[in-house]
Amino acid sequence: MTHTLHRVGNPESLSRDYILLFMPSKDINHVGSGPKLRKMLEISLKNGAIRIGDCRLGNEYYQGGLDKLLEHVEDRAVVHAVFNDLEKMTAALKELKSADLGLSVVVSGLFDKVRECCKISELPFHTVNNSLGRWGRTDRLPPQDVLELNTMCGHGMVTVKLIEDTATKVKNREMTPEQGAERLFKPCMCGIFNADRAAGLLEAMAQK
How far apart are alpha carbons 180 and 208 in whole angstroms?
16
Q: Which of 73, 107, 181, 201 binds other proteins (CB under 8 A)?
A: 107
- Binding segment for other proteins (CB under 8 A), chosen from 43-51, 64-72, 83-91, 99-107, is 99-107
Main-chain phi, psi angles of 132, to 5 degrees: -100, 20
Torsional sign, CA 36, 6, 187, 84: positive
Q: Does 149 bind other proteins (CB under 8 A)?
A: no
Q: Does 109 bind other proteins (CB under 8 A)?
A: yes
Contacting residues for 102 by C-beta, under 8 A, at least 6 apart: 29, 36
Name the residue among 93, 45, 92, 12 with its Cα closest to residue 191: 45
Q: Does 207 bind other proteins (CB under 8 A)?
A: no
Q: Which of 12, 127, 172, 207 binds other proteins (CB under 8 A)?
A: 127
Enumerate residues 54-93 that contact other proteins by CB under 8 A: 55-58, 62, 76, 78, 93
Q: Which of 45, 50, 110, 175 binds other proteins (CB under 8 A)?
A: 110
Enumerate residues 17-56 that contact other proteins by CB under 8 A: 17, 21, 23-26, 28-29, 55-56
How far apart are alpha carbons 121 and 93 in whole angstroms?
7
- Binding segment for other proteins (CB under 8 A), chosen from 43-51, 65-73, 135-143, 196-204, is 135-143
> Closest approach of Cβ 207 to other proteins, in Å?
22
Pattern 150-169, other proteins, x by CB under 8 A: xx--xxxx-xxxx--x----
How far apart are alpha carbons 17 and 2 in whole angstroms?
16
195-206 helix and 177-185 helix, angle to the nearest 10 degrees: 130
